[in-house]
Amino acid sequence: MDNNKKLGLIGKNISYSFSKKFFEDKFQKLMLKNYSYEIFDLNEIDEVENLFLIPDLLGFNVTIPYKEKIINYLDELSDEAKNIGAVNCVLIENGKKIGYNTDAFGFEKTLLLHKKQHHNKALILGNGGAAKAIQYVLDKNNISAKIVSRNTPLNFDNLDKDIVNQHKIIIQCTPVGTFPHIEDCLDFPFEGISKGHLIIDLIYNPNYTKFIVNASEKGAKTVNGYYMLEQQAEKAWEIWNFQKK
């Protein structure tokens, strides 16, 4: 009998996680009785040390707010994770802790599915770990991008409709509008959005955030974060199961 294989997710206030259901469904489909997936809600990143003591822990996903902070606790990073400066997937192999970034993979698949020829300038809203993966993918695809956050030169106070109009891809990477705070929305000049825009909101719960609803009212093509999430999870599954030396 194969020994138990444990997986999980670390983050803060993450009871609503997509990942647990996604992986438990996968175990069922593949008839893997010896796999389990747990939620590890950490108040502080240093609590991750306790996780590393769990026997049979194969790896875990990482979500807000630990995608950058986890790096100090790892032995090695994939090239992508190193370039991005954020990790959302950890593999534990023979006691060695290796960080990967599968957000980039998931976002790139989403982007290439929806992007049109004229989509060559982007605004990234937010500057956390997810935004770093987005920036990396946009650079890779020769799309020039500007970051908009509270503390960047271009911020939510000086962003105007003309700037929005000139950047036909807008990626919403902040947690604003996530369940249960579904009425919340970034202060954003929606009047700058047109039919030519592609709006990607990385939030998947709810399906349609206030941000997406407001953008679609202006005729923009809108996409939520569900496909990206699914794809990054598939990539993580691959890393945990097929990278065995």
Q: Of 6, 20, 67, 210, which residue is the catalytic one? A: 67
The torsion defined by the Cα of 175, 163, 219 and 187, in degrees rounded to 10, comes to 40
Pairing of strands 121-125, 96-100: unpaired
* Residue in this structure with the two tokens 């990626």, named with its chain if needed: 171
For 37, left (φ over 0), alpha (ψ -120 to 50), or beta?
beta
Structure tokens that stand for 241 in this block: 């199961």
Torsions phi, psi of 73, nearest 5? -100, 5
Give backbone dihedrals phi and psi of 165, rounded to 5 degrees, phi first.
-65, -35
- Cα separations in angstroms, 200 against 33, 106, 133, 161: 36, 12, 14, 18
Cα 156 to Cα 233: distance, rounded to the nearest angstrom? 31
| Token pair listed for 64 | 């807000």
C-alpha 236: how far from its chain's center?
Answer: 12
The Cα 125–Cα 137 span in angstroms is 15
Catalytic-residue membership of 69: no
Task: List active site positions.
Answer: 67
